Structure 1
């Protein structure tokens, strides 16, 4: 009988991504023989004599948390990763670790509403210069020699703009800036930012990585271990460590990430095509449709366009809300990436903190709805949408 050594599973070089997602980073031992990483709930650990980096206090780390971090690093093709209690804890800790008063941060106007609010209000209040004038590839024009950090999303929220991340990474490197990519919408199945020159990648793990709408969490990865050490220390100081139970759910969810995302890619494209031909729909936003402005970039960079489709209802904001209230299979709430399909009204939900004039400039209209495709039957989802649209 094979003896399983105590410790974390390091993937073999020839393993494909699906195998790494399941086995990479798992904590296993030869005494109990469990193949699933345990939930280490101990807050304190016996002080590791002679090793200041061992487990001591759970605000620093634990074996469960380290297992997730190793899994994320393997899948994102990074050298190290850091886990957090939420995606916003990850993003804020990453930026706080890099920026000081007077530094310049370049981002886009079409990022997640809470990210936008945190950067413009919180970081701006600390004396950090936040340039958020650009949308999509126009961010290239905002990067200059004074730029310290560039922050973009692989697929923006909610209009699904895909910036040319490889070009942005090149320009950022030329001026000595660091590119951070929020890869939540794309997932590592559809895109690997670090392979295209990004300095670091971040996820709201509550979404596709965990995948079941039952846990909060965030993760980041980078090839610069000095940076991940600094981010890990910021996490210790700010207290953004995830609970081990949270981490267990994310680890479990990542094991099915590949099959879920492949299915959601396919379903979302089918629904996008259906909506684009519906008489009650004015416009569909999905980067794998040829009429989307990011279609050429998406085809060049992405393996798939993800599970989110946004569309504008013919009518006003009240008509859009009426459609949202009429669906029966699809759930009305403000998240995405889970096995249940979710519909959201960005103007009053995810982006309500974004000023009206900024929303209008971005094209986030009152009649816009965002659909996160789950794992239900595509036919059931299409019938649910059709029934709701026909009711207005």
Structure 2
């Protein structure tokens, strides 16, 4: 048998990423074994019946529980400061399972107006089919949340920093408003990780992650995680996760456990690199505006040291030009990869309006401030000098093309007539 050694509250987060939730293997394996099995054998029919009836602890089927995923759930729960966790097949599986477990026809949800595109599609399209109403509001002003609350509001959903342009929401202020009506607050903490932001300390009831991103950190897993009270997580596991089947595979859980061991050192490098890239972008003539919590003028500064313990490594910036300019810059990059994820070792860049946030209507994009020239970059672990050099050569090419196009337009128009 494997003995559980989960309760180590004295450890620092950097230690917890390595040792949190660790279970002692009967054979002395240092690395958590991978239980790559779909089902578990019973000693006899009585044992099988007892486990299905909940009269005996033990594993039945990996959709219902697995030692490898159990260890990951314990580790992420400890990192976020919650009693329990649930492992999901995808980040959207985590969003869906965490929300739908507590909602029914006739309920109302308040959602931040700037969130991941597929989360927006879930709330704006699918929820309507089930009679769940949703209001999208600018939560940077907590008064907007108070104004949107109804007697049937059951949940408030937040992303902070918001995808894609890093809006910052005061979790404590929103939680205080939501809890007046016993509404649950769910926070997507993907951009920050538990090392840079712990929403429970600000009043959040449930925290979710796309574990695909920083928690895994290697771009080879699609997964999600949920943290909450033991009662809430049990309900999620026994309803939406079990019956909709959005559970994580043991192999993916094993890969994330491996990735978590380097989370602390990776986040330090990610953030340091991002600060230097942001400083470079801030002074470049092709950048009209920049959104990054690490910059002194960003609204997040008022929450640094309280809600946030670091700026993260995602930067959004508006280019001086049009959508063709944005495409030209991205297409000219040689080192930086055009891809829609974040948190990988590689620096990734994307165009939200036509990629991650394409599910938004043009009107919703305008309301959320997602313009055609907005670019999002996830700063990776490469030498920062090389990241900046690649951006510089791409900007130079775009500027040169713009100059050529302007010259051609002038030539096509011809020299203006002069009269003597």
**Pairwise TM-score range, normalised by the shorter structure:** over 0.9
Residue deviations 1:226-279 (CA, integer Å, cap 9, x gap): 111110012110111111111111111111111111211121121111101001
Determine which of 362, 365, 374 is the counterpart of 2:371. 365
Note if contact 2:73-2:84 (Cα within 8 Å) is conserved in structure 1.
yes
Note if contact 2:319-2:375 (Cα within 8 Å) is conserved in structure 1.
yes
Note if contact 1:336-1:372 (Cα within 8 Å) is conserved in structure 2.
yes
- Corresponding position of 1:59: 63
Change (3 A) 1:178 1:374: same
Instruction: State the 1:299 CA deviation.
Output: 5.5
Note if contact 1:286-1:309 (Cα within 8 Å) is conserved in structure 2.
yes
Change (3 A) 1:298 1:357: farther
1:40 equivalenced with 2:44 (yes/no): no
Instruction: State the 1:383 CA deviation.
Output: 0.8
Determine which of 89, 93, 104 is the counterpart of 2:93. 89
- Corresponding position of 1:312: 318
1:297 equivalenced with 2:303 (yes/no): yes
- Corresponding position of 1:103: 107
- Corresponding position of 1:75: 79
Instruction: State the 1:286 CA deviation.
Output: 0.6
Residues of 2 paired with 1:251 and 1:102: CA distance?
39
Please give the secondary structure, in 2, of the residue aligned with 1:203: strand
- Corresponding position of 1:187: 193
- Corresponding position of 1:155: 161
Larger Rg belongs to: 2
Instruction: State the 1:47 CA deviation.
Output: 3.3
Note if contact 1:110-1:135 (Cα within 8 Å) is conserved in structure 2.
no
- Corresponding position of 1:343: 349
- Corresponding position of 1:18: 14
Instruction: State the 1:376 CA deviation.
Output: 0.5
TM-score w.r.t. length of structure 2: 0.89
Determine which of 219, 237, 246 is the counterpart of 2:243. 237
Note if contact 2:108-2:150 (Cα within 8 Å) is conserved in structure 1.
no
Moved more, 143-152 or 329-338: 143-152
Determine which of 265, 268, 273 is the counterpart of 1:259. 265
Structure 2 unaligned regions, length at least 5: 399-420
Determine which of 352, 356, 362 is the counterpart of 2:358. 352
Note if contact 2:25-2:32 (Cα within 8 Å) is conserved in structure 1.
no
Please give the secondary structure, in 2, of the residue aligned with 1:319: helix
Change (3 A) 1:12 1:294: closer
Aligned length: 386
Residues of 2 paired with 1:145 and 1:292: CA distance?
35
- Corresponding position of 1:133: 137
Residues of 2 paired with 1:300 and 1:267: CA distance?
23
Moved more, 199-208 or 278-287: 278-287
Note if contact 2:293-2:312 (Cα within 8 Å) is conserved in structure 1.
no
Note if contact 1:113-1:350 (Cα within 8 Å) is conserved in structure 2.
yes
Please give the secondary structure, in 1, of the residue aligned with 2:101: helix
Instruction: State the 1:373 CA deviation.
Output: 0.6
Residues of 1 paired with 2:247 and 2:8: CA distance?
29
Structure 1 unaligned regions, length at least 5: none
Residues of 2 paired with 1:191 and 1:268: CA distance?
17
TM-score w.r.t. length of structure 1: 0.95
Note if contact 2:199-2:307 (Cα within 8 Å) is conserved in structure 1.
no
Instruction: State the 1:143 CA deviation.
Output: 2.8
Change (3 A) 1:73 1:299: closer
